[in-house]
Amino acid sequence: MHCDWVQERLEPYLDTELPDNERSSLEVHLQICAACSAELETARKVQETLRTLPAQAAPEQITEAVYAHARADLRTRRRVWLQGWTTGWRPVLGVAVAAILLIFTTIGLQDQEPTDTATPAEIARAERQAKWAIAYLSQVGHRTGLTVRDEVIGYRVVRPLRRSIQ
């Protein structure tokens, strides 16, 4: 352990800001090195003396200069942030607007009437197929002991089919 390494860390050690592994290494060195222990005592006395001094007010000129610099820095940071936000978020906003337009277009197209209508022959064919399906269900119901009422099937199957075709 070099004394230079220890002396660089005396102030953080006194302020309890050293990580545990560095603190323990420093304490081992302080037990065997009289020069570094004396430096530690001097640093401790300086800290105690500085803490007993009364607080001093900074001159008004310095205070104003610091505040002016802080305000200018804040304005600069705000301007940079806004520029970054507008340039960085433009693609995101563009995609969001495109997605919204796509959604509204899709909804608008769904509300339109279909352009191709079924011919009377297609409707008659669909009705025959529905009746055949109902007859088949009825036969299956009789064979299994379950009777399917025609009005229920007509209400639940045929009417919705007829509405969807027309």
DSSP 70-82: HHHHHHHHHHHHH
**pLDDT value at 165 more than 60:** yes
Q: What are the structural domain ranges in the chain?
A: 3-52, 120-165
Q: CA quadruple 73, 74, 75, 79: dihedral positive or negative?
A: positive
Length of the chain: 166
Is 165 in contact with 128 (CB distance < 8 Å)?
no
Q: Tell me the CB-side half-sphere exposure of residue 52, using CA atoms within 13 A.
A: 6
Residue 53 in contact with residue 40, Cβ under 8 Å?
no
pLDDT for 53-92, tens place per residue? 887 777 888 888 888 888 888 888 877 766 665 566 666 6
More confidently predicted of 129 and 136 = 129
103 within 8 A of 134, measured Cβ to Cβ: no
Mean pLDDT of the chain: 77
